[in-house]
A and B are shown apart, each in its own frame.
Chain A
Amino acid sequence: MNHLNRNHVLAGLFLLALGFFVVQQSLQWEILGVNGPGVGFFPLAYGSLIVVLALVLALKSMWAQLQQKRQTLELDHPVQTETPGKVFAALSVWLAFAISIALMKFIGFYLGFGLLIMFMTRVIFSRESRFVFLSGLLVPAGFFVVFGLLLKVQLPVGIWTGV
C-alpha cells in the first residue's frame, strides 16, 4: 500500500509531463481554423485535461501517502512492505523479449524466437537442458510450418538470414 501511493504519485507526475508535452505541441498548431477546429484543437483539449487530472492524481496520492506515514507513526507498526515477488523475473522476460525483437532484424525470426524460448524455459522456468534445446528448436519450426507455409504469413527475416 505504501508503495502503491508512491507509484501513483510518480504516475501522476509522468502523466503531468505528458500532458504538458501534448499541450505544448498542440499550441504550435492551428487551434481554430476557418472550417472549425484545427489540427491542434483536440490535442489541446485532452492534453489540458490530462494535465488537470494528473495533477489531481499526484496530489491525492501524496496526501494519501502523508496519511499513511502518519498512521504508521501513530500505530508504531512495521509497515507492510510489498514483497517484490517475481517482478524482476517479469521485467527480465520483457527485456529478453525486446532484445529478441531487435535481434530479429539481424538474425531473423527463427533464431530470434528460438533464443527467446530458450531464455524463458531455462532462466524463468528452470527446465532441464534437453527441454530447453528441444523447445528452442521445435517451436519456431512449428511456427514456420503453420504460419510460413500453411498460412503464407510473412515472418520477419533478418539481414543475416534474409534472402
Chain B
Amino acid sequence: MKHVLHKLCLLMGLAVLGTAGPALAQTFKPSKPIEIVVHTGPGGGNDVFIRAVLAALKKDNLTQDQFVVVNKAGGGSANAMNYLREKTGDSHTLGVYASVFVSDVLVQESAPLGLEKITPVAGLVSEPAMVVVRADSPYKTMADLIAAAKAQPGKLKQSGGSVLSRDAVVRYVLMSHTRAEWSFISFPSGGERVSALLGGHVDFMIIEPSEAGEMIRAGKLRPLVQIAENKIEGFPNVPLLREAGFPVPNVPQLRGLIGPPDMPPAAVAYYADLFKRASQAPAYKAYLTSKQLGNEYLAPTDLRKALDSYQVELRGILKGAGLKVVR
C-alpha cells in the first residue's frame, strides 16, 4: 500500500512538474488590453509617436492585441516613472521612453525609479536633428556660426527646451569642443522655440527634421548641419556635424519601450519580438521614413547596454556643464 501511495505521489509530482515545466517556458499572450504610458500629454512628442506606431502596427496586421495609450504627464518623466513603479511585475504595462528619462534620473533627487530597475523592452528609433538658422541669417555654414560665437562669447542665442533636453546637451558638447560660448534660452513648447527663431529673437536652434521640414521647404529656415550618425534622407546637401569639421559624439534622441521593474521575461520577449517584426514591416517603416526617424531596433539586452552607456556619457556631459548630478 505504501509503495503504491509513494508511486502515486511520485507520479503526481512528475505530472505537476511536467505541466509546470512547459508553463515556465510557455510563450506569453496578453490577456487584456496593454497600457502604454507616455510622459507627455496628448499631442506631445512621445504621444504622437506611439499613436502613429500603433496605427502602423494595425495597418501591417502584426497583432490583434489591444493597446491603450495612457498619458502621465508631469515632472518630465517623473509621473510616468511613478506609474511604472506602481505597476511593478505587471505584464500588461509598457512605457515609451525618451532621452529625458535618462537625464531626469541623473538630476532629480526624488526620481521614482533608477534606470537599473526599469526593464528594457525594445529600442525603436533614434531621432536626428539639425541646426537651423533663419533664411536671411548671415551664417551660411556651421563654421560661420561657431566663428561668430567665438568672436563674441555669449552674444549668440539658441532657443531650446529645458536644460536637460537634447538641444541643451548638444550645446554643452559643442561648446566644450569648440571653446565657443553662446546663451541658451529655454522655451517650454516647440511652437515658442520656432516662433522665437522666426521672429528674429534668437539666432539659431536645434530642431527635428520633421518639425523643420516644411519651413525649410518654404524657404524660411536654413539648415546648417545634421546631428545624426547617418545622413537624413531629403537633406543631401546638409553636412553631418562631423563632416562639417566637428567630430563630437552624436547626441541622439532615443525613443523606445520599457517595462515596469520585474517584468516577467516571457512578456518582455513577446513585446520585443512584436516590435522587432514591426521594425521590418512596411507601414511602420513608411511612417519612420516620413518622419525621418532612424529605424534602430534594439533587443532588450542591447537596449540595456545602450541605456547604461548613454547614462554614463550623459553624466559626464552634465557634470562638465556644471549641472548638479545626484546619481
Query: Are A and B in contact, CB atoms below 8 Å, in the complex?
Result: yes
The residues of A with any CB-CB pair to B shorter than 8 Å are 35, 154, 163
- Whether A35 and B183, one on each chain, are in contact in the complex, defined by CB atoms closer than 8 angstroms, is yes
Q: Is B32 an interface residue (CB 8 A)?
A: yes
A residues in contact with B32, CB < 8 Å: 163
- What residue of chain A has the Cβ atom nearest to residue B70's Cβ? A154
A residues in contact with B70, CB < 8 Å: 154
CB of A162, distance to nearest CB on chain B (Å): 11
- What residue of chain A has the Cβ atom nearest to residue B185's Cβ? A35
- What residue of chain B has the Cβ atom nearest to residue A152's Cβ? B68
Some 3 contacts from A to B, beta carbons below 8 A apart, are: A35-B183, A154-B70, A163-B32
- What residue of chain A has the Cβ atom nearest to residue B183's Cβ? A35
Q: How far is the CA of A35 from the CA of B182 in the complex (A)?
A: 11
Q: How far is the CA of A35 from the CA of B183 in the complex (A)?
A: 8
Q: How far is the CA of A128 from the CA of B161 in the complex (A)?
A: 58
The residues of B with any CB-CB pair to A shorter than 8 Å are 32, 70, 183
- What residue of chain A has the Cβ atom nearest to residue B322's Cβ? A34
- What residue of chain A has the Cβ atom nearest to residue B32's Cβ? A163
User: What total of A-B pairs shows CB separation below 8 Å?
Assistant: 3
Q: How far is the CA of A154 from the CA of B32 in the complex (A)?
A: 16
CB of B143, distance to nearest CB on chain A (Å): 26
Q: How far is the CA of A40 from the CA of B114 in the complex (A)?
A: 28
B residues in contact with A163, CB < 8 Å: 32
- What residue of chain B has the Cβ atom nearest to residue A163's Cβ? B32
B residues in contact with A35, CB < 8 Å: 183
CB of A160, distance to nearest CB on chain B (Å): 15
Q: How far is the CA of A163 from the CA of B183 in the complex (A)?
A: 50
B residues in contact with A154, CB < 8 Å: 70
- What residue of chain B has the Cβ atom nearest to residue A154's Cβ? B70
CB of B97, distance to nearest CB on chain A (Å): 22
CB of B51, distance to nearest CB on chain A (Å): 15
Q: How far is the CA of A35 from the CA of B32 in the complex (A)?
A: 51
CB of B24, distance to nearest CB on chain A (Å): 24
Q: How far is the CA of A154 from the CA of B68 in the complex (A)?
A: 11
CB of B83, distance to nearest CB on chain A (Å): 12
Q: How far is the CA of A74 from the CA of B209 in the complex (A)?
A: 80
Q: How far is the CA of A154 from the CA of B71 in the complex (A)?
A: 11
Q: How far is the CA of A163 from the CA of B35 in the complex (A)?
A: 13
CB of A40, distance to nearest CB on chain B (Å): 14
- What residue of chain B has the Cβ atom nearest to residue A35's Cβ? B183
Q: How far is the CA of A124 from the CA of B313 in the complex (A)?
A: 61
Q: How far is the CA of A35 from the CA of B70 in the complex (A)?
A: 38
Q: How far is the CA of A154 from the CA of B69 in the complex (A)?
A: 12
Q: Report, nearest first, the 3 A-B pairs whose CB atoms are least far apart.
A: A35-B183, A163-B32, A154-B70
- What residue of chain A has the Cβ atom nearest to residue B184's Cβ? A35
Q: How far is the CA of A13 from the CA of B109 in the complex (A)?
A: 32
CB of A42, distance to nearest CB on chain B (Å): 15
- What residue of chain B has the Cβ atom nearest to residue A36's Cβ? B183
Q: How far is the CA of A163 from the CA of B32 in the complex (A)?
A: 10
- What residue of chain A has the Cβ atom nearest to residue B35's Cβ? A154
A residues in contact with B183, CB < 8 Å: 35
Q: How far is the CA of A65 from the CA of B174 in the complex (A)?
A: 65
CB of A143, distance to nearest CB on chain B (Å): 20
Q: How far is the CA of A35 from the CA of B185 in the complex (A)?
A: 10
Q: How far is the CA of A35 from the CA of B168 in the complex (A)?
A: 15
CB of A38, distance to nearest CB on chain B (Å): 12
CB of B35, distance to nearest CB on chain A (Å): 10
CB of B77, distance to nearest CB on chain A (Å): 20
CB of A138, distance to nearest CB on chain B (Å): 28
Q: How far is the CA of A154 from the CA of B183 in the complex (A)?
A: 43
Q: How far is the CA of A11 from the CA of B150 in the complex (A)?
A: 55
Q: How far is the CA of A34 from the CA of B70 in the complex (A)?
A: 40
Q: How far is the CA of A37 from the CA of B276 in the complex (A)?
A: 48
Q: How far is the CA of A154 from the CA of B70 in the complex (A)?
A: 9
Q: How far is the CA of A35 from the CA of B158 in the complex (A)?
A: 13
Q: How far is the CA of A154 from the CA of B83 in the complex (A)?
A: 14
Q: How far is the CA of A163 from the CA of B90 in the complex (A)?
A: 11
Q: How far is the CA of A55 from the CA of B32 in the complex (A)?
A: 59
Q: How far is the CA of A17 from the CA of B183 in the complex (A)?
A: 38
